Amino acid sequence: MILRGLLFVFCLLGACQKEESTSNTVSESKYDAVPSEKSNIILNDLLKAKAELLKDPREAYNEFFLAHAGTKDDVKSVKDSIVRAADNYQIPIRMYTPSKNSRKDSIVMYIHGGGWVDGSIERYDHLCRKIANILEVTVVSLDYRLAPEHPFPTPLNDVFCVYSWIAKSFPKTKIILSGDSAGGNLSAALCIKISKETQKKPHAQILFYAALSGDCESKSFKAYGDIDALTKSDMEACYKQYAGDGQKTNPLVFPVLQEDMSAFPPTIFIAAECDVLLDGQILLYTKLKEAGIKTDIVIPKGTVHGFMNDLKEFNEEVTDILENETSAFIDKI
């Protein structure tokens, strides 16, 4: 989750354009895409806000983010609580009960993005409400501890702790993991960690422009590394603050390195076309497909990193992705 275009801070969030043909397939990715007109609105606002973002990244980005978050959807109920970690830290969680709950046998556990160094329950409140209402499912969001104050493996351990709590508290419930950017990374890493533990396997996974690979010399990094939504320098800095230099071969940090694909449940990837992280998602999607794991990938044209969160500008596009591709994928599992 992430401060756009600023070295040593976070990875920011962009936008999406709806056209007659809104998505590319993997075979159509030629690394020559450009941000859509709507994406550029957000990128231009980022440039205007850069001075404030440099002064106090977390606070200034919070204000920027909320200014583009749109109107909150009403849900049936919102309940805040805590889950106690193994070291006695109290992990904040928030549970959203949708206005209509047709998937009462399921819970979506949402893990926010922010480059492992930023993001919060509050900042993702708008998106979690929308996911709850459109997918008609209960959503549990959490505030894992952030790097650089709490580097790997603390954020992953916090996420695992909340997953374990959900599994124990709702033993008959199907758990659907979801997350964006760094949260998508933690979701995929969580699947690997769960496969080595005695926890039940997640039912499915919904990943939004997830950070899955540490290859910062890939084609997508070279093609889109200067786009302020998430630059190559941003991503390198985020990786360093989260995991340092000693985890380059660790699948719990870079999930594409996982050899046994059975660790992952059916997974849908919602990628951004103009995003340095595109190749990592295509790589894991391809490995899952070759291993016979149910998977799909959607790449909306002209999108940049973070487009699911700019609901003020892109509510229609986000709604369409959740109502159609995402909901249909879950229904087929």
Q: Give catalytic residue positions.
A: 181, 275, 305
Measure the CA–CA gap between 205 and 179, rounded to whole angstroms. Answer: 9
What letter represents residue 258's amino acid? Q
Of 107, 109, 103, 262, the closest CA to residue 174 belongs to 107
What is the H or E stretch that residue 148 is in? Answer: none
Tokens of 210: 């997830």
What letter represents residue 257's amino acid? L
Measure the CA–CA gap between 148 and 186, rounded to whole angstroms. Answer: 16
Q: Per the omega criterion (within 30 degrees of 0), is the bond before 255 cis?
A: no
Q: How far is CA 260 from the centre of its chain?
A: 22
Tokens of 171: 């033993």
Q: How far is CA 67 from CA 61, 126, 135, in A?
A: 10, 12, 25
Measure the CA–CA gap between 117 and 114, rounded to whole angstroms. Answer: 6
Q: How far is CA 273 from CA 152, 164, 313, 321, in A?
A: 28, 34, 18, 14
Contacts of 107 (CB under 8 A, 6+ apart): 137, 138, 139, 140, 166, 170, 173, 174, 175, 176
Measure the CA–CA gap between 263 and 196, rounded to whole angstroms. Answer: 9
Q: How far is CA 6 from CA 15, 54, 152, in A?
A: 18, 8, 22
